[in-house]
């Protein structure tokens, strides 16, 4: 039994019936290739996304480590600046104490010289007293020898008596002078002892002030968050020498006083309320306490943020 072909132009379709299956196979192959290519691209893109995520995580960790290192370096730099400032302060206090000690030793040496002179003078007075005593003994002996011929030696006795009276007066005056000199010597000794006690008291006061100063200065002034500039001052061949190191400079530069003031004034204007001046006074600076303190006070009060408040 056969069926009637109801398709229009059925004969022509029958003649081309082999074309469409071949086209379908080709399209299927193309689709499969496209799907395989898509899968490969998706897998590769997934690997690239994972690598990108790993790279971004590594960059984040590296940035975090760099930030931690920067914060650590900044903290160490601030601690170093604070330590150098405190060291400069202690050096100036030490210079002050040394100068005061030198002054006290000079006074003690002067007092020792005066005491020695008074001691020599006292020795001379004692020698004169002994000589006068011997003279008086000799006169007494002569008087006793002259008693046998009283009438003849009466006038001579009277003269000797007058002389003896004068010698006695001189002896009394010498004894009084000796007493005064002894009192002066005791007074100088007491003064010397008082000055030694004052020097000890000054040392104790300095120690107390140093403790109080350390307690006051640590929380009050800090280089944290400030624009730090280093200024080193010393004396060479009797002349003041200034070295200035700006933030970012590899090493300090030799400048004149005018150049220093110009530079600090510009930095103060550029960093209002944030300029931290780190003054360094070397241990072998050759400066006196007054010179070092005058320089430090002048620079800090004029430019440092802490003294502008």
Tell me the domain boundaries of the chain.
97-218, 225-308
**Among 22-26, 203-207, 265-269, 303-307, which is the least confidently predicted range?**
203-207
Contacts of 199 (CB under 8 A, 6+ apart): 100, 101, 104
Confidence band (pLDDT; 50, 70, 90) for 20?
A: low
- pLDDT the model gives residue 11: 47
d(CA 275, CA 242): 18
Give the 3-state secondary structure of residue 237: coil
Asked whether residue 68 carries a pLDDT value surpassing 50, the answer given is yes
Confidence band (pLDDT; 50, 70, 90) for 6?
A: very low
| Maximum distance among all Cα pairs of the chain, rounded to whole angstroms | 213
- pLDDT the model gives residue 212: 61
d(CA 100, CA 202): 9
Confidence band (pLDDT; 50, 70, 90) for 159?
A: confident
Mean pLDDT of all residues in 232-258: 92
Give the 3-state secondary structure of residue 101: helix
CA distances from 1 to 4, 14, 47, 129 (A): 10, 19, 63, 181
- pLDDT the model gives residue 297: 94
Whether the CB-CB separation of 120 and 166 falls below 8 Å is answered with: no
Asked whether residue 9 carries a pLDDT value surpassing 60, the answer given is no
Mean pLDDT of all residues in 11-34: 71
Confidence band (pLDDT; 50, 70, 90) for 146?
A: low
**Among 14-18, 107-111, 166-170, 272-276, which is the least confidently predicted range?**
14-18
Q: How far apart are the first and last CA of the chain?
A: 117
Q: Which two tokens stand for residue 48?
A: 């690239």
Most confident of 58-62, 126-130, 144-148, 267-271: 267-271
- pLDDT 10s digits, 187-201: 867 776 777 777 777
Radius of gyration (C-alpha) of the chain in whole angstroms: 53
- Token look-up 């040496």 returns 109
Q: Which two tokens stand for residue 105?
A: 């030793």
Most confident of 120-129, 160-169, 298-307: 298-307
Asked whether residue 219 carries a pLDDT value surpassing 60, the answer given is no
Using the 8-state DSSP alphabet, how is residue 309 labeled?
-
Asked whether residue 30 carries a pLDDT value surpassing 80, the answer given is yes
Residue 157 or 82, more confident? 82
Buried b (16+ CB within 10 A) or exposed e, 101-110: eeeeeeeeee
Q: How many residues does the chain have?
A: 309
| Count of alpha carbons within 13 angstroms of residue 76, beta-carbon side | 6
Most confident of 12-16, 74-78, 233-237: 233-237
d(CA 229, CA 226): 9
Backbone angles phi, psi at 226, to 5 degrees: -110, 165
- Token look-up 């998706």 returns 42
Q: Which residues lie across from 253 on neighbouring strands?
A: 244
Closest listed residue to residue 240, CA positions, set 168, 291, 185: 291
Task: Provide DSSP, 46-57.
Answer: HHHHHHHHHHHH
Confidence band (pLDDT; 50, 70, 90) for 19?
A: low
What's the order of all strands across the beta sheet hosting 275-280? 253-255, 239-245, 227-236, 275-280
Mean pLDDT of all residues in 247-268: 93
Closest listed residue to residue 96, CA positions, set 281, 297, 288, 300: 288
């Amino acid at each position: 039994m056969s069926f009637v072909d109801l398709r229009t132009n059925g004969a022509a379709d029958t003649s081309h019936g082999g074309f469409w299956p071949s086209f379908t196979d080709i399209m299927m192959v193309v689709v499969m290739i496209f799907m395989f290519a898509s899968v490969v691209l998706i897998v590769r893109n997934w690997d690239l996304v994972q690598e990108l995520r790993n790279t971004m995580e590594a960059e984040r960790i590296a940035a975090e480590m760099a930030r931690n290192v920067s914060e650590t370096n900044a903290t160490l730099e601030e601690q170093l600046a604070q330590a150098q400032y405190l060291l400069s302060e202690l050096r100036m206090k030490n210079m002050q104490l040394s100068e005061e000690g030198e002054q006290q030793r000079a006074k003690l040496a002067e007092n020792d010289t005066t005491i020695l002179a008074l001691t020599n003078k006292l020795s001379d007075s004692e020698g004169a007293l002994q000589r006068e005593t011997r003279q008086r003994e000799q006169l007494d002996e002569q008087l006793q020898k002259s008693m046998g011929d009283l009438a003849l030696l009466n006038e001579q006795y009277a003269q000797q008596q007058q002389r003896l009276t004068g010698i006695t007066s001189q002896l009394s005056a010498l004894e009084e002078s000796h007493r005064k000199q002894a009192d002066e010597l005791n007074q100088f000794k007491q003064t010397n002892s008082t000055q030694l006690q004052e020097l000890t008291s000054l040392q104790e006061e300095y120690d107390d002030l140093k403790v109080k100063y350390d307690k006051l200065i640590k929380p009050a002034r800090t280089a944290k968050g400030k624009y730090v500039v280093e200024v080193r001052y010393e004396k060479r061949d009797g002349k003041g020498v200034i070295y200035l190191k700006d933030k970012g400079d590899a090493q300090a530069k030799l400048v004149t006083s005018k150049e220093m003031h110009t530079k600090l004034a510009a930095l103060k204007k550029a960093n209002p309320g944030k300029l931290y001046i780190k003054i360094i006074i070397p241990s072998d600076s050759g400066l006196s306490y007054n010179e070092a303190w005058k320089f430090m006070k002048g620079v800090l009060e004029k430019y440092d943020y802490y003294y502008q408040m």
